[in-house]
A and B are shown apart, each in its own frame.
Chain A
């Protein structure tokens, strides 16, 4: 499967799991998308570790150093899986996996060339020497524990946006 097909498949499946699905080309486009997605003035955790995060960080005047105090996390993630519409968060490189758990809104940026076609493709890469934490995230936190009625936003984020850049 080629790049654009993978990206479309990933975004389609992410949207089916109730994530906001976005595709951008270039940094200007990414910043414009973030401007639309992230409510202005909200406390944002953006670690600023990768090129994309460094480019995004100045967009948020109210940046906080601790994800616990943030309402929104904006971060670049390890990768994505087209088959399931999943983003892959790992603890490698000192990444706080809780950044995508504690705030109510998680915005995950994934590079187009980091989209794996299938679960097998991802696991083949990480299976040998996994980092302390790998979390596959598909859509926002949810439950159906009361009468099997879907409720979004239990302990994790109630809103998840994925941006392919």
Chain B
């Protein structure tokens, strides 16, 4: 996905999204539901703030010593029987995975949900090599049938309503139309069960990796993640290097925080801890396990001022509460990761030249910081990126000139009063000059300024 020469068109995407009533309704429903469920899930927990502090400290410790934890993970996973590959970028990662699969003659691949695989655009690479790649998470399956990208990191098809899914299933799978989620889910179970049992390989992501034992930890609800990682003879996991946690003993707080923050569940239906492939005497596990550790710019981020974004555990809470995300949805951002954490990662991973428009996709209200379970200073990082955007010359010259003028005017009471009077009188002209984007949408100023009404 990276490498595109043109910059992301957040502004025009957002403009279109704002006019899409179906999308607006779906996003509002999702945001309200998630907001309430998250609050309810944390309500009975006694020491949430202390728990967040502990989790944040563990993530901080991992970042401080990331190369050491990665090396430790590689050694322990290898000792457990896995083959670990290190990929410096997306191209290398995709090719490693294609080769592992091709060397073993794998044609049918079942996939668990993995945002890192979306980041490197893995499916297209494997499909170009003639492999059949089936997404098995229900939301991912829906958008794969539709030929779309995820619009939320936890609920990929959040932008679709039940009637759209019903129509899609009846057209593509030849089943009678139904818009009952339970019926649609049953259809997916039937179609995908057959895929699991006949697959040559499973490809999954991982939520975390335990450095001291070489274990992968996956949080899932549907059971597809368990299928992908245990039913086919070959399991390939792809994850980015910052997902390290020192030890399995450090996990209780993450198990308590991640599902509550993500979906408002006390715990997901399944938490799988996978340590190496099947060993002698085991009845469970893939016969072969390959783990691909993706850097793709993380090491560079780690050395920069915005490194704290690497603490992120991908719960999605920041997007659920973000007034921008809630209004425009995930696709408007134009790359893999949406919302506050997404616009930061997008900018850092794809570069300012491409992604400077999404740096604006925040009101800086700080709701994201309030909910982040590991205390990523999202607003501070967005401000850093905005300063960088200006420094590197990507800000709109009109906006820059306008702000300089406003700065002058706002600093002088006389000029400010004059400005108010002029704006009130000549508003129709200002609207035209200011363009449709901003001034065109603003309400006209009051005839009598508030400053003159106030005592």
Complex CA gap A34/B285 in Å reads 29
Residues of the B chain whose Cβ atoms lie less than 8 Å from the Cβ of A68 = 197
Please give me the residue from chain B that is nearest to A141 by CB atom: B223
Q: Establish whether residues B263 and A144, one from each chain, have CB atoms under 8 Å apart when the complex forms.
A: yes
Does B274 reach chain A (CB closer than 8 Å)?
yes
Q: Establish whether residues A145 and B192, one from each chain, have CB atoms under 8 Å apart when the complex forms.
A: no
Interface residues of A in 96-136 (CB under 8 A from B): 96-98, 101, 118-120, 123-124, 126-136
Q: Establish whether residues A84 and B283, one from each chain, have CB atoms under 8 Å apart when the complex forms.
A: no
* Between-chain CB contacts (< 8 Å), 7 pairs: A101-B230, A119-B252, A127-B213, A130-B215, A133-B230, A134-B273, A149-B181
Does B281 reach chain A (CB closer than 8 Å)?
yes
Complex CA gap A148/B157 in Å reads 10
Contact string against A for B residues 173-198, beta-carbon threshold 8 Å, 1 for contact and 0 otherwise:
00000000110111011001100110
Contacting A146 at CB < 8 Å: which of B162, B224, B268?
B162
Residues of the B chain whose Cβ atoms lie less than 8 Å from the Cβ of A131 = 275, 282
Summed over the interface, the residue pairs from A and B with CB atoms below 8 Å come to a total of 177
Q: Establish whether residues A142 and B255, one from each chain, have CB atoms under 8 Å apart when the complex forms.
A: no
Residues of the A chain whose Cβ atoms lie less than 8 Å from the Cβ of B247 = 127
Interface residues on A, range: 35 or more
Q: Establish whether residues B182 and A151, one from each chain, have CB atoms under 8 Å apart when the complex forms.
A: yes
Q: Establish whether residues A132 and B275, one from each chain, have CB atoms under 8 Å apart when the complex forms.
A: yes
| A102 → B minimal CB distance (Å) | 8
Residues of the A chain whose Cβ atoms lie less than 8 Å from the Cβ of B155 = 144-145, 148
Interface residues of A in 22-68 (CB under 8 A from B): 68
Please give me the residue from chain B that is nearest to A81 by CB atom: B267
A interface residues with partner B (beta carbon < 8 Å)? 13, 16-17, 68, 84-86, 91, 93-98, 101, 118-120, 123-124, 126-149, 151-157
Contact string against A for B residues 220-261, beta-carbon threshold 8 Å, 1 for contact and 0 otherwise:
011110110011000000000000000111011001100000
Please give me the residue from chain A that is nearest to B81 by CB atom: A132
Complex CA gap A148/B231 in Å reads 28
Does B270 reach chain A (CB closer than 8 Å)?
yes
Contacting B221 at CB < 8 Å: which of A101, A126, A141?
A141
Residues of the A chain whose Cβ atoms lie less than 8 Å from the Cβ of B266 = 13, 16-17, 84-85, 138
Residues of the A chain whose Cβ atoms lie less than 8 Å from the Cβ of B256 = 119
Interface majority SS (helix, strand, loop, mixed), chain A: loop
B interface residues with partner A (beta carbon < 8 Å)? 26, 29-30, 33-34, 136-139, 142, 155-158, 160-162, 165, 181-182, 184-186, 188-189, 192-193, 196-197, 213, 215, 221-224, 226-227, 230-231, 247-249, 251-252, 255-256, 263, 266-279, 281-285
Residues of the A chain whose Cβ atoms lie less than 8 Å from the Cβ of B278 = 132
Residues of the B chain whose Cβ atoms lie less than 8 Å from the Cβ of A145 = 137-139, 142, 155-157, 222
Q: Establish whether residues B255 and A97, one from each chain, have CB atoms under 8 Å apart when the complex forms.
A: no
Q: Establish whether residues B252 and A137, one from each chain, have CB atoms under 8 Å apart when the complex forms.
A: no
Complex CA gap A94/B185 in Å reads 32
Query: A146 and B215 in contact (CB under 8 A), knowing A133-B272, A134-B273?
Result: no
Residues of the B chain whose Cβ atoms lie less than 8 Å from the Cβ of A148 = 29-30, 33-34, 155, 158
Q: Establish whether residues A124 and B249, one from each chain, have CB atoms under 8 Å apart when the complex forms.
A: yes
Q: Establish whether residues B230 and A156, one from each chain, have CB atoms under 8 Å apart when the complex forms.
A: no
Complex CA gap A118/B47 in Å reads 15
Query: A134 and B272 in contact (CB under 8 A), knowing A123-B251, A141-B221, A141-B223?
Result: yes
Complex CA gap A120/B158 in Å reads 34
Q: Establish whether residues A155 and B136, one from each chain, have CB atoms under 8 Å apart when the complex forms.
A: yes
Residues of the A chain whose Cβ atoms lie less than 8 Å from the Cβ of B33 = 148
Contacting A136 at CB < 8 Å: which of B30, B156, B160, B267?
B267
Complex CA gap A68/B276 in Å reads 23
Please give me the residue from chain A that is nearest to B252 by CB atom: A119
Residues of the A chain whose Cβ atoms lie less than 8 Å from the Cβ of B221 = 141-144, 154
Q: Establish whether residues A119 and B251, one from each chain, have CB atoms under 8 Å apart when the complex forms.
A: yes
Q: Establish whether residues B269 and A135, one from each chain, have CB atoms under 8 Å apart when the complex forms.
A: no
Q: Establish whether residues A132 and B139, one from each chain, have CB atoms under 8 Å apart when the complex forms.
A: no
Q: Establish whether residues A153 and B157, one from each chain, have CB atoms under 8 Å apart when the complex forms.
A: no
